[in-house]
Structure 1
């Protein structure tokens, strides 16, 4: 039994860098401009996303944008390899325009348009951050639920499950 567990663990690590792997990610909204009423009615707001290792972080952003019913694009970044969202020591992946901005510290690690999911070295149970709209500060935690080398046919990325309503992108606090 222990031998099987070990080989599954090794196999899981090897799959995590394959562009052909299928990643199941659960994206939780953890902070943002929502009303108390919305929060009371929706104690958990999450989306489960299926995405291939060959997809980029920009494609992950687009499916999250769609999954949370957002309407207006804004700057965003992913924070990987830290202790979850808002970790200043995490590797930061941003839009190319952010690389020329002098107010970003530390400097971004990579461009979301060219960084693939597989290149991040993710493993099951890893968590990383996604920050959308640097003014309204929508913070998300992304948990790696599973990674498999067998990808069913179909178009990816896709939304597999929705929990809770999507908050309005611009809350009316009046």
Structure 2
């Protein structure tokens, strides 16, 4: 078995008043046999959240292209990871949002994944090892689909052997905002 350390960055969220002066992140150590649902719980606790909501993980390649979605068990229906885009939508997205220096291979991969989305995964049934973290570009994680707290997750370290117990925070920087900031302040 393998133990992983992932850095989970909380992305700025101006509409909710979260624009930190420094990056806010937590390094979480998690066993490869833990599920994405367990990883969600560890992130939930690390960022001091208290009210549970839906969430989604998206695996990404080295170019940041979404490869597959893994959703909260109550949202899982076994359908496509995302809505299929038609050629016109894909062309518009590539023109407006994809960096000019992106390779043609990356653009074609994006086009294929948007035209034929892979089936979504169930976060409660997918282990960290199944994601093959050492070959994965990164993960994105969205908590609370209404407020959309966005996180970027990247592998920091890999260790041989299993860890005992639950995932743990091994390092951190910055202060996470309240789950529901008081926007009147």
TM-score class, shorter-chain normalisation, is: 0.7 to 0.9
Q: Who is 1:123 aligned against?
A: 134
| TM-score normalised over the length of structure 2 | 0.71
Q: Root-mean-square deviation (CA), in Å? A: 2.5
Picking from 16, 35, 40, the partner of 2:17 is 35
Instruction: Describe how 1:1-150 pairs up with structure 2 within 5 A.
Output: 20-32=1-13, 33-35=15-17, 39-40=20-21, 43-82=22-61, 83-84=63-64, 87=65, 89-100=66-77, 105=83, 108-123=119-134, 126-150=137-161
Q: 1:108 to 1:30 in 2, by over 3 A?
A: farther
Unmatched 5+ stretches in structure 1? 1-19
**CA distance 1:162–1:72, shift in 2 (3 Å):** same
Map 1:147-158 onto structure 2 (within 5 A).
Answer: 147-151=158-162, 154-158=164-168
**Equivalent in the alignment of 1:14:** none
Does residue 172 of the first structure (1) align with residue 172 of the second (2)?
no
User: Which whole-Å CA distance do the structure 1 matches of 2:35 and 2:57 have between them?
Assistant: 11
Aligned to 2:125, what secondary structure does the other structure show?
A: coil
- TM-score, length basis structure 1: 0.75
Q: Which residue of 2 is the match for residue 161 of structure 1?
A: 171
SS of the counterpart of 1:63?
Answer: helix
Cα deviation for residue 97 of structure 1 reads 2.5
Q: Once the two structures are superposed, what CA deviation does each residue of 1:40-87 show, in whole Å capped at 9, x if it has no partner?
A: 3xx210000000000000000000000000010100010003444xx5
Change in 2 beyond 3 A, CA 1:159/1:124 = farther
Listed as ranges, the gaps of 5+ residues in structure 2 are 84-116
CA contact (8 A) 1:94 1:108 kept: no
Question: C-alpha displacement at 1:150, in angstroms?
Answer: 3.3
Conservation of the 8 A alpha-carbon contact between 1:76 and 1:132: yes
Whether the 8 Å CA contact 1:34–1:167 is kept in 2: the answer is no
